Amino acid sequence: MKLIIFLYFLLLPNFAIAYIGPGMAGGVVTASFAVIAAIFICLFGVIWFPIKRWLKKKKSNQTTTKSQSKSDYN
C-alpha cells in the first residue's frame, strides 16, 4: 500500500500555484544571457587565437623572406 501511494505521488504531476516576480525573472534572463555570452566567448577564443597565431607566423615568415632576399642582392 505504501508503494502504491509513493508511486502515485511520484508519477502524477502536482500543480503549484506560484508567482515569480519581476526580480526573479530578471535574474533568470540575466543568467541566460551570461551563459550564452560565455559560450560565444569560448568559441571566439577557440577560433580566433589559432588564426591570430597563424597570421603572425605567416607575417614573420614573409618579413624574414624579404630580408633574406634583400641581403642576397647586396
- Reported as a single tens digit per residue, the pLDDT across 17-69 is 777 777 888 888 999 999 999 999 999 989 988 898 898 888 888 777 766 66
Cell numbers 534572463 correspond to: 29
pTM over 0.85: no
The three cell numbers of residue 13 are 504531476
> What pLDDT does 36 receive?
97
Query: Could you give the residue ranges of the DSSP H alpha helices within the chain?
Result: 2-11, 22-73
> What pLDDT does 13 receive?
76
* CA separation for the pair 46, 39 (Å, rounded): 11
Q: In the structure, what pLDDT confidence band is assigned to residue 70 with cuts at 50, 70 and 90?
A: low
